[in-house]
């Protein structure tokens, strides 16, 4: 495969068509953001799952990006727990908050149900949750119903990288209404290369001509316009996935230098559930929060690095890296498996609160 030209964000949106559902999606987001603003809630946009790149207009074949949506769906739950409203923008059929606990592959839903009353002789048969799983299911169900009642979760779906880019721009622009109270948590795995629709075959590519050569264009780097144009003072967190962990920190630093956002969270494919590294620009120490501003709806969680005694800070000239690690499940005594997203979100909520109050 060869790689071709790169699009600017501007030329991308001028030449690639918007998804048909965009106008309705945006109207719904607008209404959601207005409700959250009235309820005085901070709002986080969580992107989750991988984007596809179709090879044909009548799509039969496509390239996909790795991501089950675990990071995004799990993080969304912890943001909701911390009092945030969440716009959950995810790849269709990838994991979602709450239902992720009972996905068909890890915890088949039917295995948690039991038939009740069979053999009673009165002809009535009901369904109950299996007693052994009652407590876990009840906790998830209670949290889910609470979020439904509060109206604090809004979901949006994408499939292709084109859907993703159009949605990201539009949602960011709507959310910028909240200025510093908006957070952008970009955990989706987004394709770096794509086929512009002008170069796509209309129908299924035929196999009769031997090997297939495809020249792909570079997907525009949208973090720059996101920081400079689409959002106003929002707190932007991007993720960097690598398989060679020696690249994590240099690439995270390069992204911060290039785009000027707040935090890059680096993770290695194989260790991502156990450790991540927060990379940010070095700042002067913050003064303590004034008491009245400290008493807002955001809880002040402990730094995860402190909580686990596993944090380690290294400073360079202009960047700070903080590792966040959790203990592998085999070594924990608790029946509840610890999820690293709990600590990632606690750390970000703390940093976002400082960003809102201290204007930095
Ligand atoms: O969804 P998941 O839990 O399987 O994987 C999460 C992740 C590795 C895709 C995410 O943490 C991430 O790094 N997203 C950004 C990927 C990128 O560098 O484009």
Q: pLDDT tens digit string along 286-331?
A: 666 666 544 444 444 344 443 333 344 444 448 999 999 998 766 5
Residue 48 contacts by C-beta under 8 Å, 6 or more apart in sequence?
67, 69, 71, 72, 73, 76, 88, 89, 90, 91, 94, 95, 187, 188
Q: Does pLDDT of 199 surpass 70?
A: yes
Q: Give the pLDDT of residue 128.
A: 86
Q: How far apart are CA 35 and CA 150, in angstroms?
A: 10
Q: Domains of the chain by range and CATH?
A: 1-111+123-233 (3.40.50.10300), 239-360 (no CATH)
Q: Is 219 in the pocket of ligand 1 (CB under 6 A)?
A: no
pLDDT at 291 (0 to 100)? 62
Report whether residue 67 contacts ligand 1, using a CB cutoff of 6 Å. Answer: yes
The Cα-based distances of 201 to 3, 51, 123 in angstroms read: 17, 20, 60
- Expressed in angstroms and rounded, the spacing between residue 285 Cα and the centre of ligand 1 is 30
Angle between helices 340-358 and 70-81 (to 10 degrees): 60
3-class SS at 22? helix
Position in ligand 1 atom list of the atom nearest CA 94: 1
Average pLDDT, the chain: 88
ipTM entry? 0.99
> Does the Cβ of 273 fall within 6 Å of ligand 1?
no
pLDDT of residue 267: 98
In this predicted structure, what is the pLDDT of residue 123? Answer: 76
State residue 282's pLDDT score.
87
* Residue nearest atom 10 of ligand 1, based on CA coordinates: 187
Question: For a pocket test of ligand 1, which of 66, 67, 255 has the largest count of ligand atoms closer than 8 A to its C-beta?
Answer: 67
Q: For residue 207, with 0-12 CB atoms within 10 Å meaning exposed, 13-18 middle and 19 or more buried, which class applies?
A: exposed
Residue 252 main-chain phi, psi, to 5 deg:
-65, -45
- Judging by beta carbons within 10 Å of its beta carbon (0-12, 13-18, 19+), is residue 17 exposed, middle or buried? exposed
pLDDT band at 174 (very low <50, low <70, confident <90, very high): very high
Report pLDDT digits (tens) over 105-157. Answer: 778 888 888 888 876 777 788 888 877 677 888 999 999 999 999 999 999 99
């Amino acid at each position: 495969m060869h790689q071709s030209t790169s699009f600017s964000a501007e030329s991308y949106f001028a030449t690639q068509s918007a998804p048909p559902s965009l106008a309705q999606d945006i109207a719904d987001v607008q209404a959601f953001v207005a409700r959250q603003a009235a309820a005085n809630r901070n709002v986080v946009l969580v992107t989750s799952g991988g984007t596809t790149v179709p090879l044909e207009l009548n799509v039969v074949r496509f390239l996909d990006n790795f991501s089950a949506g675990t990071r995004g769906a799990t993080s969304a739950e912890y943001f909701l727990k911390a009092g945030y409203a969440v716009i959950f923008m995810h790849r269709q059929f990838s994991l979602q908050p709450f239902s992720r606990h009972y996905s068909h592959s890890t915890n088949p839903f039917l295995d948690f149900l039991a038939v009740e009353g069979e053999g009673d002789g009165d002809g009535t048969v009901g369904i109950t949750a299996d007693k052994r799983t009652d407590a876990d299911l009840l906790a998830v169900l209670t949290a889910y119903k609470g979020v439904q009642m509060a109206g604090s979760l809004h979901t949006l779906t994408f499939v292709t990288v084109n859907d993703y880019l159009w949605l990201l721009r539009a949602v960011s622009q709507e959310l910028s209404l909240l200025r510093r109270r908006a957070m952008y948590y970009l955990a989706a795995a987004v394709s770096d290369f794509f086929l512009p629709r002008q170069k796509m075959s209309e129908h299924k590519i035929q196999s009769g001509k031997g090997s297939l050569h495809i020249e792909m264009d570079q997907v525009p780097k949208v973090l720059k316009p996101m920081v400079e144009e689409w959002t106003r003072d929002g707190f932007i967190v991007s993720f960097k996935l690598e398989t060679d962990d020696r690249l994590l920190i240099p690439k995270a630093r390069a992204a911060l230098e290039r785009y000027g956002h707040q935090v890059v969270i680096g993770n290695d494919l194989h260790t991502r559930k156990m450790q991540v590294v927060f990379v940010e620009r070095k700042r002067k120490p913050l003064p303590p929060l004034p008491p009245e501003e400290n008493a807002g709806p955001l809880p002040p969680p402990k730094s995860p690095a402190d909580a686990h005694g596993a944090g380690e800070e290294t400073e360079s000239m202009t960047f700070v890296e903080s590792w966040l690690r959790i203990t592998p499940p085999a070594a924990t005594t608790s029946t509840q498996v610890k999820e690293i997203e709990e600590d990632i979100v606690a750390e970000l909520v703390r940093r976002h609160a400082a960003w809102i109050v201290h204007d930095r």
